[in-house]
């Protein structure tokens, strides 16, 4: 169920006594740099204007309750006994736990949340949930924790409760996104540069395969472990190589026979994608959109053939997109195994091409694909009522 901020406030007031404050946290897209945030790379995410709204008000000391208007589910607990559970509740518990672990003493709270962000589609509804909750709690308790630290707390929350060993990209984008802006994030320093998105000429079109992706299913953590194994092998032979950013393809090729072929492929992808993203950012900055688009297609090929995180539905949509001259670039977006492709399309042709691809997708897979034309928007913030 889709909700607006006004709906969320209404639901809050019908369920809980007292006044409420309202917050918003967005989902994210990523133009380039996939699976390299946890490999010392660069990524190019943006927050989008779709996300979740959170209404927060005071509850009894030591108690909290959170109601998901989207799922019509509820979690109630107290701060002294947080136990892992399943699904969205784990993200809530993980964030609360981060505040407690850092020695912050939380006031009791009620929250109602919900919004217009599709869940499980690679738009990082989990980061929107974590970042919205963390931003609301930070303000509500007047902790004044800086945004970067909040983003890191949200990332750790995801590591400890849902046990998904994610990088920092999603939480950073959900916190730091800005209207019309693509972030060029250096995942080593966790500092970003802003690049203006050419919204006068191009649209960002997401096509959701509606194949459910579940990052928690272990494939993501396996990729991460394989990269760690590969880096250790590289460092054994080349001790001066501190991370994948400093590794070269020629170093890697010298180790080819000493590595499992899977590990070799993962490392090759990572080294290539790090360079591609750096070059791609320069193209986007200088307005060379078609060269940027080629980087997106090359990224997809790497994700499909070397990192092995694609699926037939995603490959089909990327292949179809390449038949249209007005599509500048396309690739799978996010963790992979389903979810969305991201397409950069000349603005005046965007809707027609998307419609055509949905039709072709249906003819091929007998499944509906969904289209979202999105705009880069602001990161997590309070909505002044
Ligand atoms: C998920 C993770 C991110 C990132 C992407 C892949 O969204 O949360 O940290 O690794 O997958 O680029």
- The contacts of residue 48 (CB under 8 Å, 6+ apart) are 26, 27, 28, 29, 123, 177, 374, 375, 376, 377
Q: What is the pLDDT of residue 218?
A: 86
Give the active site residues. Answer: 170
Report whether 95 contacts 109 (CB < 8 A).
Answer: no
Question: What number does the ligand 1 atom closest to the CA of 335 have?
Answer: 11
Q: How far is the CA of 274 from the centre of ligand 1 (A)?
A: 14
Q: How far is the CA of 241 from the centre of ligand 1 (A)?
A: 24
Across the range 352-363, mean pLDDT stands at: 98
Q: What is the pLDDT of residue 215?
A: 55
Q: What is the pLDDT of residue 214?
A: 62
Find the radius of gyration of the CA atoms of the chain: 21
Q: Give the residue, out of 168, 170, 269, with the most ligand 1 atoms within 8 A of its beta carbon, to mutate for a pocket test.
A: 170
Q: Check residue 108 and report its DSSP letter.
A: P
Q: What is the pLDDT of residue 217?
A: 66
Q: Which residue blocks in the chain are alpha helix, DSSP H?
A: 5-15, 88-101, 125-140, 147-160, 169-176, 219-237, 249-254, 261-285, 289-305, 312-321, 350-365
Q: How far is the CA of 40 from the centre of ligand 1 (A)?
A: 13
Report whether 204 contacts 342 (CB < 8 A).
Answer: yes
Q: What is the pLDDT of residue 216?
A: 47
Closest CA to 335 of 295, 306, 372, 307: 307
* Ligand 1 contacts CB of residue 173 (under 6 A): no
Report whether 11 contacts 370 (CB < 8 A).
Answer: no
In this structure, the residue with its CA closest to atom 1 of ligand 1 is: 335
* Ligand 1 contacts CB of residue 35 (under 6 A): yes
| pLDDT, mean over the chain | 96
Question: What number does the ligand 1 atom closest to the CA of 124 have?
Answer: 7
Q: What is the pLDDT of residue 238?
A: 98
- How many other CB atoms are there within 10 angstroms of residue 157's CB atom? 27
pTM: 0.97
* H or E element at residue 206: strand 202-208
* Ligand 1 contacts CB of residue 166 (under 6 A): yes
- Please say if the pLDDT value at position 299 is more than 70: yes
Closest CA to 1 of 55, 52, 49: 52
* Ligand 1 contacts CB of residue 130 (under 6 A): no
- Please say if the pLDDT value at position 210 is more than 50: yes
- Please say if the pLDDT value at position 288 is more than 80: yes
Across the range 310-334, mean pLDDT stands at: 97
* Ligand 1 contacts CB of residue 158 (under 6 A): no
Q: How far is the CA of 385 from the centre of ligand 1 (A)?
A: 33
322: left (phi over 0), alpha (psi -120 to 50) or beta: alpha
% of the chain with per-residue pLDDT over 90: 96
Q: How far is the CA of 220 from the centre of ligand 1 (A)?
A: 8
- Give CA–CA dist 159/154, Å, rounded: 9
Q: What is the pLDDT of residue 212?
A: 84
The structure tokens listed for 353 are: 């091409």
Q: What is the pLDDT of residue 109?
A: 98
Q: What is the pLDDT of residue 121?
A: 86
Question: What number does the ligand 1 atom closest to the CA of 37 have?
Answer: 10
């Amino acid at each position: 169920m889709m909700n607006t901020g006004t709906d969320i406030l209404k639901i809050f007031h019908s369920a809980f006594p007292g006044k409420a404050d309202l917050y918003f946290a967005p989902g994210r897209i990523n133009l380039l740099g996939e699976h390299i945030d946890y490999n010392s790379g660069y990524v190019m995410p943006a927050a989008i204007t779709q996300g979740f709204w959170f209404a927060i008000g005071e509850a009894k000391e030591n108690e909290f309750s959170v109601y998901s208007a989207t799922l019509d589910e509820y979690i109630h607990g107290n701060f002294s006994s947080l136990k892992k559970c399943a699904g969205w509740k784990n993200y809530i518990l993980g964030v609360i736990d981060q505040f407690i672990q850092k020695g912050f003493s939380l006031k009791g709270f009620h929250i109602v949340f919900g919004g217009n962000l599709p869940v499980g589609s690679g738009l990082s509804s989990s980061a929107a949930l974590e970042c919205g909750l963390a931003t609301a709690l930070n303000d509500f308790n007047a902790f004044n924790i800086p945004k970067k630290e909040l983003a890191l707390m949200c990332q750790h929350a995801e590591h400890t409760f849902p046990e998904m060993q994610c990088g920092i990209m999603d939480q950073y984008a959900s916190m730091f996104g800005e209207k019309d802006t693509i972030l060029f994030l250096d995942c080593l320093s966790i500092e970003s540069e802003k690049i203006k998105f050419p919204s006068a000429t191009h649209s960002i079109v997401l096509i959701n395969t509606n194949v459910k992706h579940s990052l928690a299913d272990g494939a993501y953590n396996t990729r991460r472990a394989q990269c760690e194994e590969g880096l250790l092998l590289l460092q054994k032979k080349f001790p001066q190589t501190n991370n994948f950013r400093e590794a070269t393809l020629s170093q890697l090729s010298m180790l080819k026979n000493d590595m499992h072929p899977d590990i070799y492929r993962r490392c090759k992808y990572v080294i290539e994608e790090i360079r591609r993203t750096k070059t791609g950012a320069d193209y986007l900055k200088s307005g060379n959109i078609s060269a940027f688009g080629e980087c997106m297609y090359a990224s997809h090929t790497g994700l499909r053939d070397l990192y092995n995180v694609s699926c037939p539905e995603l490959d089909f949509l990327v292949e179809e997109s390449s038949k249209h001259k007005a599509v500048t670039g396309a690739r799978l977006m996010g963790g992979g195994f389903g979810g969305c492709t991201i397409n950069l399309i000349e603005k005046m042709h965007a809707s027609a091409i998307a419609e055509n691809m949905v039709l072709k997708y249906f003819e091929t897979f007998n499944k509906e694909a969904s289209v979202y034309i999105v705009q880069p928007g602001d990161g997590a913030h309070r909505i002044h009522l």
